Amino acid sequence: MAITSVTTQILAGSGTYTPTAGMLQCIVIVVGGGGGGASVTNVDEASAGGGGGGFAIELLTAATIGASKEYVGGAGGGANAAGGTTRLGAVASELVQA
């Protein structure tokens, strides 16, 4: 089977992913919200930076996606807190811990 066209969609925030007409497979890349840096109690202290978001790649078929899937982009974590989970329905997700 030859690839005849490639469509790129970048999703942010939350919403519904609807595949383009004729989609047979898609590569889904999700990145979790990064963890927050350490909090400090006074202005003379230094703080460690937060952790990067986790990363996952999935190759999904049109049958797995179906007509559409809800997506949620995980928010970055606040001070001393983990970031949120990024997911596409229940088929692809990634969570990062602070």
What's phi and psi for 65, nearest 5 deg?
-70, -40
pLDDT tier for residue 94 given thresholds of 50, 70 and 90: low
CB 65 within 8 A of CB 19: yes
What is the pLDDT averaged over residues 2-16? 88
Tell me: the pLDDT tens digits for 17-76? 999 998 999 999 988 888 888 877 777 777 778 888 888 898 999 999 999 999 999 888
Distance CA 80, CA 87 (A): 22
Q: What is the pLDDT of residue 98?
A: 35
pTM here? 0.75
C-alpha 8, offset from chain centre: 15
| Residues 6+ positions from 20 with CB-CB distance below 8 Å | 7
